[in-house]
Amino acid sequence: MFIILVYDMGEKRVAKSLKICRKYLHWVQNSVFEGEISEANLVKLRVELKSIMDESYDSVIIYSFRTRRYSDIEILGVKKGGEENFF
């Protein structure tokens, strides 16, 4: 499956969140990641993020898609992140 993950974490947890997400996904820009991921790795990713989160303050949103086939992306302004993007 293909996912887009965005997070908003407290300052003290941002670096840990970045490190965890980069193990599984491609960095797109500040607090935004995307990529193909297996169900098993998605479960691991959720568990790792939950272990560092303050659920009363932090948030993680995961958009999941069965396929990228019918998707498109438009970038306005500066392209950030890695070379592997939505296509």
Domain-by-domain residue ranges, the chain?
A: 2-65
What whole-number distance in Å separates Cα of residue 72 and Cα of residue 77? 17
What is the per-residue pLDDT for 80?
74
Q: What residues pair up with 35 in beta bridges, in sequence order?
A: 3
pLDDT band at 84 (very low <50, low <70, confident <90, very high): low
| CB-based contact 13:52 (threshold 8 Å) | yes
What whole-number distance in Å separates Cα of residue 64 and Cα of residue 41? 13
pLDDT in tens, 8-49: 999 999 999 999 999 999 999 889 999 999 999 999 999 999
Q: What are phi and psi of 17, to 5 degrees?
A: -65, -45
Using the predicted structure, report yes or no on whether residue 53 has a pLDDT greater than 70.
yes
Q: Which CATH number fits domain 2-65: 3.90.180.10, 3.90.700.10, 3.40.50.300, 3.30.70.240?
A: 3.30.70.240
Using the predicted structure, report yes or no on whether residue 87 has a pLDDT greater than 80.
no
pTM score: 0.82
Query: Could you count the other beta carbons within 10 Å of the beta carbon of residue 16?
Result: 15
